Every structure is written in structure tokens, then in C-alpha cells.
Amino acid sequence: MNKKSSRLFAEARKSVLILPSMVLLLIFFVTPILLTVYYSFTNLALSGENAKQLKFIGLSNYVSMFKDRTVRISIVNTLVFLLGSLIGQQVLGFLIALNMRNRNRIFRGIVGPVFLAGWIMPEVVVALCCSTFFGDEGTLNQIFSFFHLPTVEFLFAIPMATVILANIWHGTAFSMMNFQSALDGVPADIEEAAKVDGAGPFQTMLRIILPCIKNTIATNTMLNTLSTLGVFGLIYMMTGGGPGTKTLTLPIFMYRQAFISQQLGYGTAISMILLVIGIVLSVFYTRVMRKD
Amino acid sequence: MKKMKKVAAAVLASTMVLSLAACQGSGAKTETTAQGKTEAGSGETGKTAETPGTGGKTKISITFRDGGSDALKNWFEHAYETYDKKDSIELDIAPITASEGDYFAKVALALQSADTAPDIVCEDTFQLPSDVAAGYLTDLSGYLKDYKEWNDGTYYGPLVDGVTYSDGSVYGIPYCTDTRGLWYNKDIFKAAGLDKEWQPKTWQEILDTCKVIKEKCPDVVPFWCNSGVASGEATSMQTYEMLLYGTGEQLLDENDKWIASSENILKSLNFINTIYKDGYGPSLSKVLNGEAGNIASREYLPGGKLAISLDGYWMTGNYKETGSAPWPEYKDKLGIAAMPTSEGQKPGSITMSGGWALSIPQLSDQKDASMDFIKHCMSYDIYLDTIIAQGNIATRTDIAADPTYASQPFMEKCTGFLSGAFYRPRNSQYSTVTTHIQTMVESVVSGTSPEDAMAQYKSDVTNSVGADNTVTK
């Protein structure tokens, strides 16, 4: 009896302690999501007649979305941006982490912060740095002209590649840190044993190191996916989604529809695609992870 | 180690508590200022706005777009200094620093809540119908009954129409208007061996002139028109509509339906396409930039790097002593030509005209005081100073006759364009359709074929206004 009541007390205490965070989550996380879903079925607008009377218009936002060619373009752009950023950030992050392994503290102490600088900078500053770096009269073109190479209008000739590069610069340090800690966790004796058994560096990498950090790769991919899907400020500041629709990703298209064209309802419907892509990819990654 | 952890936990916890407290503090502050809109005048607090003169001052807040020029701010400050009710009124100048598109979004959001709505807001007349339809603005008709200048025809008739909603009520006092044309640098024309007095009669003549300039002065950009989404309304109005209305077509047909696809839309887009395809336009990185308009008017045209610029009269405001890019010789070096119709058909030349108005939000709690201050801002002397500083065309006929105002370079010609000027549709859907126009123009400029761009425009417009409100010609 006594035992039971004390357990009950413990449960109650736990619930009370967890209550504030649950309430906060409910107010600031769950409610906005539900509201967004609701608004995507309405004619919500920033101005005009529709702003006066909120009306439920059923699936009509979704119907026009599927007819809209720009939606398709921005889905493709989002996926290209995602894939480019993911591959770039992870491969680069992994290589840096690998090269920093077993180096002395001074080397690590200098190289690490250099890469971290890109990550700790706010998005706006990153965008500004990259715009001035890739700009028409920017640093890179100055270097080009110093060597008498033709200058390139990076933000217009290859806009998507440029914003991906900027995002890679911004995000690589995060992957680097994840891989660093994972690599530190690879037991040295297994590697040693492989070496004794005659495995070359390539084989060691493929058969020993990569399998050991598999879970980190999956987690890292998922985290990067979710943060890359939401990138707005970086692209908006560098290209504004242009020229034309060349870097128009879903978040930017959503912003344009909701706030510039003042059709909030349609904008929220577009955000649903983003949500779906995020959910699908997350489920996919967790499935892959669970298999092992 | 354990101790360190404890310290860290304590620091983190206190940061959290502090930031929460900070949030609460700022929240509470906005609430009080918004509710009462009262500022303690002589140490007494808690007086509400409804009891001015008993220690508290009535506070009027005024919102406008800060586009890098101080002209509007100076206007309101100067008006306040000379205001006879200065002792009972306090002025809160609250500009919004944003691109044009963002300005309208921010204003629309601010007008939705009594906590954030200013007492006076500067509205572009194209956005006005939309904001009226949303119920954001106050019907000023009642306040205008005893406004002498409003009733005796001092304000230009078409501009009064521009702030009158379809139900006949007035929702703003127009404070500036404008006309557009082809500005050209006479030095470049001379260097290219062209006549310094230029007036093209058709679009083809503009292209021919560009061709000569490109051949003779290869370092000069022959032609600049606002072409990007980032330039906002400037792209719709200064470029696309100047072309479209010059073909004889308008945005709406005679039954007030949006024309979503037509030969004339295609013709206008083809002109833009030719400009960029044949290398007469600036580089995309310049023209699709949010600063495009300023680069052209403040840097390229006076710097001899641009020959022809399709832009509005206000541009000359930059070149005055008080402007952002003083150019003492602009009177002699700059020329203005009317924008011709596509094939020179009647009326021969065209201009679009717009302008801005001072409005009072529906949720303002100081409507009487605000209206009184607006009247003061628009009084002869104060308004004369600002309209010259803004480099805009006056909305009052008596100012137009003032010698100081009328003797400004190009004023006579640009005011002359006003007769026969076209105005944007007074339709609450325009503010959405215009963003689709900007997307269409930018996509042509960045390589999409005019046909595809028009197809996308059709689908965007149909999507926004509904298929039964559009027609294809």
C-alpha cells in the first residue's frame, strides 16, 4: 500500500514537473501547426475583401496548387538545393573531421575554429558575406581578374550552385563536429587489428570506420535535411528566389504568395508541401536506421 | 567538474528566467503605449488619450516607407514644428525601412491590430482599394465637409478620384502624383552623334536609338527599365504598364475583367525581351537587384554610364542640392521625352500616373487629431516645401501655379503629361495581380520566352482572382 502510494506520488510529481513544458509546447507548437492546417483550407488574405471575412473554401487552394507550374518548379528547386547541400556538407564535413583526427592540438585548435566560424555566424551575416564574395565586383571576381581570368556573374549565371555553396560553407562545421565525435568513438584496437591483418587505408575506411559511424551519418543526414528544408534568409538575401524562378525554393515561394501577393491561405497550403516532404524524409531515415 | 556543472546550470537557468522577464517587460510596454497612445507630458502618468491638455499629450504616430531619402521625415518634422497644437500633441515618427513589397505587407499586418496600427499611414494609391476592402482604413468623407480646399476644387480631380472608393467615400488625402517618361543623357546622345532633342515616335525608334548608342558608345548601357520582382511596383507601372497601355490595351477590359492573355501583352513582353536579348539593357545583377532604381538614377544616368532610362519624374529629386545624388548640371545634361505608343498610333504618347495618399487607419484612436495634422501637413507653405524636396508633382492646383514650384526643371513638361495620363485600375485585386506582373517581367528578362511567361501569368491571375474574372483576347 505504502509502496503503491509512493509510486503514485512519484508519477504525480513527474506529471506536475512536465506540465509547464507540455503547456508551452501546446501553445507555441501544436496550436500553430493546427491553425496552419486550418488556414490552408481558407481564403485568408492580408488585404482586400478576403481579409474581411475568413471563409472555408475546401480544397480549392490545393487544387490550384497542383495546377500551378511554379509549385512544381519550386519543389524541384527545393530538392536540388537539399541534395546539393546534403552531399556537400556531409562529404566535406567528414573529410575535414577525418583529416583532423590524430593531429596535434595546435593544428586542431586552428583549423576547427576556422570552419566553425561559418557555422556560428547568423544566417543574415552569412548571406551578406557570400553576396560580397560571389558578387559582380566581389572578392572571387577580383581574384579572377587578378589572374586575368574572365569574371563570372555567379548570382545570375549559376545562382543555384552559388546558394548551395553558401549553404555548404554555413553548414559544414555542424557535420564536421558530429563526425569528429563519432570518429573519436571508433575503437583504436579494431583499426589496429585490421592494419595487422593487412587492410589498406581504403579498406579500413570502407569496412571498419564507415560501419562504425553509420548511425551518426543517418542522424546527421536527418538533422541537415530538416534544417536545409527551412532555409529562407540565406537564399532570400542572396538572390530573392531569382533570377526568374531559378532559386525559388518552397519557403521563398510561400513567402512571396503569402506576404507579397497577400494570399496567406494559399501560402499556408504551400507550406503543407514542405511539411509533407519533411515528414516523408524523416520517416525514411528512421526506417533506414532501425533496420540495423 | 561537478561544481562547474552546477555553476553552468545556474547561469543557464538565470538566463532563461531573465529572457522570459524581458519578454514580459517589452510586451507590457507596447500594450500601455498602444492602449492609451499617451505619453506623460509633465510627470503625470496614466492619463488617457481622451483627456488631452490635462497633463498628458495626445500622441499621433505616423508611418511611411523609408526608402533612403529623408524627404518625408523632414516634411512631418517641419510640419510639427510649425503646428499650433504642438503643446497638446506629440508626434511619433515611425518609418518602416523595407522594400516596397514588404512595406505593404508590414502595413497590412500593422493595421489589423489596435496595438500596432499607426494614426496616419502613407498608402500607395494602388494599395488603397485593397486596404479599404479589407476594412483597414477610415472613411474620411465626414472629416472633409469642413475642409475648404477639398471642396473648392484645389485638389486635382483625377487624384481625388484615385482616393475615392467605388462606394463614393474618400479614404485618403493625395499628397503626391507623378508621370513617367524617357529620361536621356544628352552628353551620351552627342557622343553617339544623335540629336540632343529626342522624341521617338514608335517603340521601334527607341530600339533603333539603342542600337546606335550600343555601336558608338559600347561602354554605355543604352536602355534601363525596372525589370525585377525586387523593384516591386516600379516594374509593373514604370515598365510593363507603360508598354501595355501604349498598345491601346489596359489591364482590365471594358467589363472590368482581367485580361490574362492577349496579343498586346505578348507585344509588350517582346519589347522587353528585345531590350535584353540584343544587349541594350543593363546586366541582370544590376537590374534585378533591390537597389536597381537607385543604381540607375543616382549612379548610372548622372555618371554617363546610362543613355536612356524609363522612369518617373521624382527621379529628379535626387539631383537637387538636398537630394541623394546632387548633379548641378542636370537641367542641361538631362532630357525628357514622352513614351511613344507602340506604333505611334493615337494619342501618340502615353504615361501612367499614380501617387501616394495620407490615410487614417480604422483602428486609430486619434482620428480627429490626425485629420487636423494631415490638413496642416497639406497647408500651402509646408506642402510647397516638401513637394519640391520630394521632387514630385503636386496634388494641389494652387501649388502648381506657384513660381518656385513651376520653375523647376522639367516640371512644365512632366505636368503636361498629366492631361491624358492613365491610372491603374481602382480594383482591390490589383495589388495581388501586380505581383504576378512583376514575376512575368522578371522571368522574361532572365530568359523565359514571352509566350511561356504569359502562360504562367494567366495561370497566376486566374488562380488569384478566379476564372470568371479573367478573359483571354
Q: In the prediction, which pLDDT does B29 show?
A: 35
| CB proximity B446 to A under 8 Å | yes
Encode pLDDT of B250-278 as tens digits. 999 999 999 999 999 999 999 999 999 99
Facing residue for A69 by CB, picked from B112, B136, B456: B456
Encode pLDDT of B321-355 as tens digits. 888 899 999 999 999 999 999 999 988 999 999 99
Residue B470 bridge partners (DSSP): B258
Identify the closest residue of chain B to A43 by CA–CA distance.
B464
Q: Is the confidence at residue B43, as pLDDT, over 50?
A: no
Identify the closest residue of chain B to A154 by CA–CA distance.
B285
Q: In the prediction, which pLDDT does A110 show?
A: 86
Distance from CA of A244 to the nearest CA of B (A): 4
| CB proximity B431 to A under 8 Å | yes
Encode pLDDT of B182-215 as tens digits. 999 999 999 999 999 999 999 999 999 999 999 9
Q: In the prediction, which pLDDT does A1 show?
A: 53
Q: In the prediction, which pLDDT does B39 show?
A: 36
Identify the closest residue of chain A to B463 by CA–CA distance.
A64
Q: Is the confidence at residue B1, as pLDDT, over 80?
A: no
Which residues from chain A sit within 8 angstroms of residue B460, using beta carbons? Answer: 68, 70
Q: Does residue B156 sit in helix, strand or coil?
A: coil
Encode pLDDT of B426-462 as tens digits. 888 998 999 999 999 999 999 899 999 999 999 999 9
Facing residue for B133 by CB, picked from A49, A245, A260: A49
Encode pLDDT of B141-151 as tens digits. 999 999 999 99
CA distances to A71, A97, B172, B210, B402 from B383, in Å: 47, 66, 16, 39, 12
CB A222 within 8 A of CB A285: yes
Facing residue for B446 by CB, picked from A46, A47, A242: A242
pLDDT band at B3 (very low <50, low <70, confident <90, very high): low
Distance from CA of A9 to the nearest CA of B (A): 26
Q: In the prediction, which pLDDT does B99 show?
A: 80
Q: Is the confidence at residue B49, as pLDDT, over 80?
A: no
Q: In the prediction, which pLDDT does B441 show?
A: 96
Query: Among residues of chain B, what percentage have pLDDT more than 90?
Result: 70
pLDDT mean by block of 10 residues, chain A; 292 residues: 80 91 93 93 90 89 89 95 96 91 83 88 92 90 93 90 95 93 89 87 87 89 92 92 90 92 92 92 85 62
Facing residue for B428 by CB, picked from A48, A69, A153: A48
Return the ∠ at Cα A258 (arms to A257 and A261), rounded to 5°.
Answer: 55
| CB proximity A278 to B under 8 Å | no
Facing residue for A261 by CB, picked from B288, B435, B459: B435
Check A262 against B104: CB less than 8 A apart. yes
Encode pLDDT of A143-160 as tens digits. 999 999 998 889 888 999
Identify the closest residue of chain A to B455 by CA–CA distance.
A69
Facing residue for A47 by CB, picked from B130, B230, B283: B130
Which residues from chain A sit within 8 angstroms of residue B137, using beta carbons? Answer: none
| CB proximity B250 to A under 8 Å | no
Q: How many residues does chain B have?
A: 473
- ipTM value of the model? 0.80
| CB proximity A51 to B under 8 Å | yes
Facing residue for A244 by CB, picked from B104, B442, B464: B442
Q: What is the mean pLDDT of chain B?
A: 87
CA distances to A203, A238, B225, B283, B457 from B292, in Å: 56, 15, 9, 11, 23
Check A243 against B459: CB less than 8 A apart. no
Check B228 against A242: CB less than 8 A apart. yes
How many A×B Cβ pairs under 8 Å?
Answer: 108
What is the identity of the amino acid at B271?
F
Distance from CA of B83 to the nearest CA of A (A): 34
- pTM reported for the whole predicted model: 0.83
Q: In the prediction, which pLDDT does B122 show?
A: 96
Which residues from chain A sit within 8 angstroms of residue B428, using beta carbons? Answer: 47-49
Q: In the prediction, which pLDDT does A205 show?
A: 87
State which H helix or E strand residue B260 sits in: strand B258-261
CATH code for the structural domain at B56-178+354-423 = 3.40.190.10
CA distance A221 to A219: 5
CA distance B130 to B123: 11
Which residues from chain B sit within 8 angstroms of residue A242, using beta carbons? Answer: 228-230, 288, 442, 446
Q: In the prediction, which pLDDT does B377 show?
A: 95
Helical H segments across chain A, by residue range: 2-25, 31-39, 49-52, 60-67, 69-100, 105-120, 123-134, 139-146, 154-157, 159-184, 188-196, 201-203, 210-212, 214-229, 233-238, 250-255, 264-291
Identify the closest residue of chain A to B105 by CA–CA distance.
A259
CA distances to A106, A239, B63, B81, B85 from B60, in Å: 61, 38, 10, 14, 12
pLDDT band at B10 (very low <50, low <70, confident <90, very high): low
Q: In the prediction, which pLDDT does B226 show?
A: 94
Check B285 against A244: CB less than 8 A apart. no
Q: Is the confidence at residue B52, as pLDDT, over 80?
A: no
Identify the closest residue of chain B to A48 by CA–CA distance.
B130
Mean pLDDT value of segment B56-66:
91
Which of B285, B289, B428, B470 to mutate to test binding with chain A, by most A CBs within 10 Å of its CB?
Answer: B285
Q: Is the confidence at residue B40, as pLDDT, over 50?
A: no
| CB proximity A46 to B under 8 Å | yes
Q: Which residues of chain B from 183 to 222 reach within 8 Å of chain A, CB to CB?
A: none
CB A190 within 8 A of CB A135: no
Q: Any idea where the domains of chain B sit in the sequence?
A: 56-178+354-423, 180-351+426-472
Distance from CA of B382 to the nearest CA of A (A): 32
Domains of chain A: 65-291 (1.10.3720.10)
| CB proximity A259 to B under 8 Å | yes
The reply to whether B56-178+354-423 and B180-351+426-472 are identical in fold is yes
| CB proximity B415 to A under 8 Å | no
B180-351+426-472 topology per CATH: D-Maltodextrin-Binding Protein; domain 2 (3.40.190)
Cα-only R_g, chain A: 24
Mean pLDDT value of segment B222-245:
94
Q: Is the confidence at residue B14, as pLDDT, over 80?
A: no
Check A259 against B105: CB less than 8 A apart. yes
Q: In the prediction, which pLDDT does B37 show?
A: 37
